[in-house]
Amino acid sequence: MEDDAWAAFPTTRRQLLQAILDGDVQNVVFLSGDIHCSNVATITFQNADGSTLPLRAYSITSFAFYWPWSFADGSPLGYVHDSKALVRIWTKGQEAQKDDGFKVNDNVTMHYLAKNFQQDDNFTQVDIEPERIIARTFDWKGKSLDRNEFRLG
């Protein structure tokens, strides 16, 4: 599952996040899909001293609109929901480690908080307004499953 995810490209991920930090780029939105599980996440950046930077980014992931093989869905249990709270067993080293985000550099760590995981066939509509982003997920018949609002600032 990590072969085509960010975990497979740590250098590219670090460079992208460093560019956000260096440019003080606010409210970056990562749009993605094809993990057979929709969700949204808020991304924050924390200094080594524990203080939080004023930067925010967001991730909106949409499910495949049609996916007939439910046995191959991306289980919400397989994804990190809160990077600050996760304790994970790494398969390569077999050691238990606390996963407390992704180190962008020696001074800054990226953290994320994901929620509203949906596994059934669905689609996500993203509305962008000057002061907010609204991500709404609908089932294949158009019934609303959830609504997430991100305040921009």
φ/ψ of 122, rounded to 5, equals -160, 175
Beta strand spans in 63-140 (E): 86-89, 96-99, 102-103, 108-118, 122-129, 132-139
What single DSSP character describes residue 82?
B
Tell me what pLDDT residue 30 has.
92
The stretches in the chain having pLDDT less than 50 are 1, 87-99
pTM of the model: 0.79
Q: Could you give the 3-state DSSP secondary structure of residue 117?
A: strand
Tell me what pLDDT residue 118 has.
84
Q: Do the Cβ atoms of 112 and 44 come closer than 8 Å?
A: yes
Tell me what pLDDT residue 101 has.
66
The CA distance from 76 to 91, in Å, is 19
Please state the domain extents for the chain: 2-119
Tell me what pLDDT residue 93 has.
43
Written as six digits, the tokens of 57 are 């980014």
